[in-house]
Chains A and B, each alone.
Chain A
Amino acid sequence: MENILTINNLTKKFGYLTAVKDLSFTIQKGNVYGILGPNGSGKSTTLGIVLNVVNKTNGDFHWFDGNVDTHDALKKVGAIIERPNFYPYMTAEQNLNLVCKIKGVTTDKVQEKLEVVGLLDRKNSKFRTYSLGMKQRLAIASALLNDPEILILDEPTNGLDPQGIHQIRQIIKDIASDGTTILLASHLLDEVEKVCSHVVVLRKGEKLYSGRVDEMINSHGFFELKTDKQSELISILENHKLFDKIKTEDDLITAFLTEPMSASDFNKLMFDKGIVLSHLVKRKESLEEQFLQLTDNLN
């Protein structure tokens, strides 16, 4: 598979603080990647380094096959980091024309991309009159101008209202469905869970995990159960080899599986033992639960 970005042993120090520590991973064409991590875990710094605005301390990285300069490679990348940065005294259209000039592409895609993000009717308004949501959408339009090989988004929904968040997410999903590679940095886990196929998890500048979202932790899921015969159920579960951990909260029992088992098999088993369940749900851990489990393991 074609590599878009390769990072090897990247390290960045700000004085005493090590923001990124010995980080390595690769981004492959066609996948949607999430970089996860709490605030201050080095997500933005990592993106800053590969985007030519932060100097690395050690290690290296290269775009595509490694034969082009970083700034030339960036002409084939679309990126928005943190806040949308444009010239406040220019209109949306003028700002995009300027970006076209920097990227060395013709300006005939400007209207089309403004249409994609729904700003065509406001194209002649000055950037400073825009709301944050509109600014963020303009930033996405700007990043799409060159039909990039990869789209990099750093906290794209930060500070937006629910409607704005929904709009941005919809745009990202549409772009992803076109087959564009996306790298999305966020601390909002449900955001990443909804759009990403792969994740890189960072904490304090170190990589904890990189790979597919569904393989992040070894888990076969768990059952949430309710019954009138609670104590009997618990004793059965505790003596069964398929379950290793059982939690009880009020009348809700949560039993974690050590091997795969379907809900109907479990229901049949319980019925044979003479227990009637009033509530049975089989679930997998959400990304948030997996993430917390992964970060807790190292504490």
Chain B
Amino acid sequence: MIRLVQLELQKLWLNRTSKVLIFVSFILPFTVLVLSSIKINFFGFFTLELGELGIFNFPIIWHITTFCASYFKFFFAIVVVSMIGNEYSNKTLKQNLIDGLSKKEFILSKFYTIVFFSLAATLLIGLATFCIGMYYSSYTEASIIFREVEFLLAYFVKLVGFFSLCLFFGMLLKRSAFALAFLFILYIVEWLVFWGAYEIFDSANKAFQVKNFMPLESMYKLIDQPFQRVMMTKFPDKMDLAYDYSVHFSEIAIVMGWTALFIFLSYRLLKKRDL
């Protein structure tokens, strides 16, 4: 397993484009997080301090940082599709197999790398969140700090799921650009499914329940948007703002199911294909 990760890391690390993208996908969310946590003075007119809003309080900070950081996954998604696309366009996939890598090992080396980077991203965000929270939060009792830490698990599962989807599209289409375009097409298809379900059940709620099983929506649903929750804390008496924002086991199970399916299909595709 370590051999397979090492293999893939060498391929990625010596490629300047992927090195830059990996840096960006790690450094950028980190920077945004740190910048947003410091007091910004707009030329003496007014000062903006997001910490004042209470969004850096435990436990809501876990929710907010993981939600915002997950938007930066697109940078690493480009790395994932190009690591497949390049293997096809350089024909190095063929050469790897001839040199004695099995098709299973090839897919696994990509998958392990995805897990490795997702884990690193999760740990980094977790650490940053913890530090900022300790600095700003009004409550610093352990029981409050580590409440809702499951958002980190959701973040990790979300990253692995999304990158596995990218891996599968990369294997399917062999070209990085097409694979990224297909992500957008899938997004539209999911809305078409929603529309179809709405036509059948004649209820938006039912239609959303159907859509929740689709790959992109299920990953998005893992961490619901936190803004409504911030509003809720400001106006606790407005009951119509209440919604279910917690991480459910069923949501994690759906995404893990998709992940397993995408990896399996990638392997099947490679096994059936004549290179």
Contact among B92, B100, B275 for A103, CB-based, below 8 A: B100
- Asked if A101 and B97 sit within 8 Å, CB to CB, the answer is no
Is B100 a contact partner of A74 (Cβ separation < 8 A)?
A: yes
Task: Indicate whether A104 sits within 8 Å of B3 (C-beta atoms), given known contacts A51-B98, A75-B100.
Answer: yes
Contact with B along A22-37 (1 / 0, CB 8 A): 0000000000000000
Interface status of A81 (Cβ within 8 A of chain B): yes
Please measure, in the bound complex, the distance between the C-alpha atom of A74 and the C-alpha atom of B105, giving whole angstroms.
14
Residue ID in chain B nearest A139 by CB atoms: B95
Contact among A77, A79, A85, A102 for B90, CB-based, below 8 A: A85
Residues A87 and B91 in contact, CB atoms below 8 Å apart: no
A87–B18 CA distance with the chains assembled, in angstroms: 13
CA distance A185 to B39 in the complex (A): 70
List B contacts of A94 (CB < 8 A): 10, 14
Contact B10 A51 (CB under 8 A): no
Per the bound structure, the CA–CA distance linking A71 and B105 in Å amounts to 10
Contact across chains for A101 and B7 when beta carbons are under 8 A apart: yes
Stretch at the interface among A52-60, A157-165, A170-178, A289-297: A52-60
Q: In the complex, A89 Cα to B103 Cα: how many Å?
A: 23
The B interface is mostly helix, strand or loop, or mixed, namely helix
Instruction: Tell me if B274 counts as interface (CB < 8 A to partner A).
Output: yes
B189 to chain A, nearest CB (A): 30
A48 in the interface (beta carbon within 8 A): yes
Q: Enumerate A68-119 residues with CB–CB distance to B below 8 Å.
A: 69, 71-72, 74-75, 77, 79, 81, 83, 85-90, 94, 97-99, 101-104
Q: Which residues from chain B contact A102 at a C-beta distance below 8 Å?
A: 7, 96, 99-101
List B contacts of A69 (CB < 8 A).
Answer: 102
| Residue among A48, A85, A94, A97 with max Cβ neighbours from chain B (10 Å) | A85
Q: A69-B102, A85-B92, A86-B92 are in contact. Are A52 and B97 (CB under 8 A)?
A: yes
User: In whole angstroms, what is the CA distance A31 to B16 when docked?
Assistant: 44
- Please tell me if the beta carbons of A87 and B11 are within 8 angstroms of each other in the complex: yes
Contact of A87 among B92, B103, B272, B273 (CB under 8 A): B92
A71 with B97, Cβ < 8 A, contacts A55-B272, A55-B274, A83-B91 known:
yes
| Candidates B6, B14, B100; contact of A72 at CB < 8 Å | B100
Interface residues on chain B, size class = 20 to 34
Pair A53/B14 contact, Cβ less than 8 Å: no
Tell me, yes or no, whether B31 is within 8 Å of chain A by CB. Answer: no
Given A86-B92, A88-B90, A89-B16, does the pair A53, B11 have CB atoms closer than 8 Å?
Answer: no
| Bound-state Cα–Cα, A11 to B153, Å | 50
Smallest CB separation, B90 vs chain A (Å): 6
Name the distance in Å between B49's Cβ and chain A's nearest Cβ.
44
Q: Closest Cβ of chain B: how far from A49's Cβ, in Å?
A: 9
| 8 A Cβ contacts from B228-271 to A | 271
A7-25 interface with B by 8 A CB criterion:
14
Contact indicator per residue, chain B 126-168, by CB within 8 Å of chain A (1) or not (0): 0000000000000000000000000000000000000000000
Take A69-B102, A71-B101, A71-B102 as given contacts and tell me if A101 and B3 are in contact as well, using a CB distance cutoff of 8 Å: yes
Contacts of B101 in A (CB 8 A): 71, 102
Best-buried of B271, B274, B275 by chain A (most CB within 10 Å): B274
CB < 8 Å: which of B3, B91, B103 contacts A85?
B91
CA distance A48 to B275 in the complex (A): 8
| A87–B14 touching, CB < 8 Å | yes
- Those 5 A-B pairs whose CB atoms lie nearest each other, nearest first: A75-B100, A71-B102, A85-B95, A74-B100, A85-B91
Q: CB within 8 Å of B: which residues of A?
A: 14, 48, 51-55, 69, 71-72, 74-75, 77, 79, 81, 83, 85-90, 94, 97-99, 101-104, 142
Query: Chain B interface (Cβ within 8 Å of chain A)?
Result: 3, 6-7, 10-11, 14-16, 86, 90-92, 94-103, 105, 271-275
